Chains A and B, each alone.
Chain A
Amino acid sequence: DAGVIQSPRHEVTEMGQEVTLRCKPISGHDYLFWYRQTMMRGLELLIYFNNNVPIDDSGMPEDRFSAKMPNASFSTLKIQPSEPRDSAVYFCASSLPTGIGEQFFGPGTRLTVL
């Protein structure tokens, strides 16, 4: 398996623009997670899905952030409008439904909002 795939790997945009980050989980994994990593706040869980259904979005910072999972092999995280404070590395992770918590991470998308 190719592992969790994220695109783009790097994104530079201007404040106010819409940004869409994409993730393809490992085939057969029923859980998908979106994280944000910054120097100041560390690693934060934004939202996670089970069988394409959002389970907990309490980590989504504000209404400018939205996430969807239209099918088992694809998810998006959208920021509209983007702000400089959204600059971070965004990770997608997936896992099997074992109840153990072992997650497999993608390489991340480094977002810079100017």
Chain B
Amino acid sequence: QKEVEQNSGPLSVPEGAIASLNCTYSDRVSQSFFWYRQYSGKSPELIMSIYSNGDKEDGRFTAQLNKASQYVSLLIRDSQPSDSATYLCAVRSSGNQFYFGTGTSLTVIP
């Protein structure tokens, strides 16, 4: 059973702060890692992908990957109320199957 674990939250941060979301995974052979944002009543939307150890930055978002620790994180800088959503961590395993965490609920307080 391939597992992806996330803290369910809720996580609350003030506007302008850094939000830090964490994810661990069990399958050591996983090679691709993703963060999705899901607004209530909507479908998941891809916001970041990362494939190699280290940091990857895209605007206010930074994904961090540590394969040795089987850990991936997402930092959101200058958090905005519009960032309030559930964030899903996903791992692509062999056979092109994707495994998802249960999501972390983020609330950015104005």
Chains A and B bind each other: no
B residues at A contact (CB < 8 Å): none
A residues adjacent to B (C-beta < 8 A): none
